[in-house]
Amino acid sequence: MTLHHRPVPTASRRAAQAVATLGAAVLLLTACGGGSDSADSKPSGEKSAKADSSSPKTRTVKDATGTAVEIPAEPKRIVTLTQEDLDAVLALDIKPVGITNGQGLDKPPAYLADKVEGINIVGNLLQPVMDKVVAAKPDLILAGDMQDEQVLKQLREITPATLVTMAPTDDWKLFFRGVGNAVNKLDAANKFITDHEAAAKAAGEKLGANKGAEVSIVRWNPDGPSWMENKQFASGVALEMGLKRPKSQNKDGNAHTPSLSLEKINEIDGDWLFLSTLTSDGAKALKDVQDKPAYKELGAVKNKQVVTVDGSVWSTRGGPLAADVVMEDYVKALSAK
* DSSP state letters, 29-51: HHHTTSS---GGGSTT-PPPTT-
Region 43-68: what's the mean pLDDT?
64
| Within-domain flag for 2 | no
Domain count across the chain: 2
SS3 state of residue 162:
strand
Q: Is the pLDDT of residue 170 over 50?
A: yes
| Within-domain flag for 5 | no
Share the mean pLDDT of the chain: 86
Range of the domain at 149: 11-195
| Within-domain flag for 85 | yes
- The predicted pLDDT at position 103 comes to 82
Greater pLDDT, 22 or 320: 320
**Following CA atoms 176, 87, 121, 81 in sequence, which dihedral angle do they give, to the nearest 10 degrees?**
30
Percentage of residues of the chain with pLDDT beyond 70: 83
Which of 144, 170, 195 is where one domain is finished? 195
Region 241-252: what's the mean pLDDT?
94
Closest to 325 (Cα-Cα) out of 82, 176, 174, 111: 111
- The predicted pLDDT at position 266 comes to 93
Q: Is the pLDDT of residue 48 over 90?
A: no
Residue 75 contacts residue 52 (beta carbons within 8 Å): no
| Within-domain flag for 105 | yes
pTM: 0.84
Q: Is the pLDDT of residue 157 over 70?
A: yes
Rounded CA-CA distance 165/8 in Å is: 16
Residues 49, 188: one domain?
yes
Residues 235, 126: one domain?
no
Greater pLDDT, 281 or 56: 281
| Within-domain flag for 101 | yes
Which of 195, 214, 246 is where one domain is finished? 195
Long-range contacts of 73-78 (CB under 8 A, 24+ apart): 73/35, 73/36, 73/38, 73/184, 74/38, 74/184, 75/139, 75/140, 75/161, 75/182, 75/183, 76/139, 77/136, 77/137, 77/138, 77/139, 77/140, 78/138, 78/139, 78/140, 78/141, 78/142, 78/183
| Within-domain flag for 310 | yes
Q: Is the pLDDT of residue 17 over 60?
A: no
Q: What CATH number corresponds to the domain at position 218? A: 3.40.50.1980
Residues 180, 259: one domain?
no
Residues 158, 83: one domain?
yes
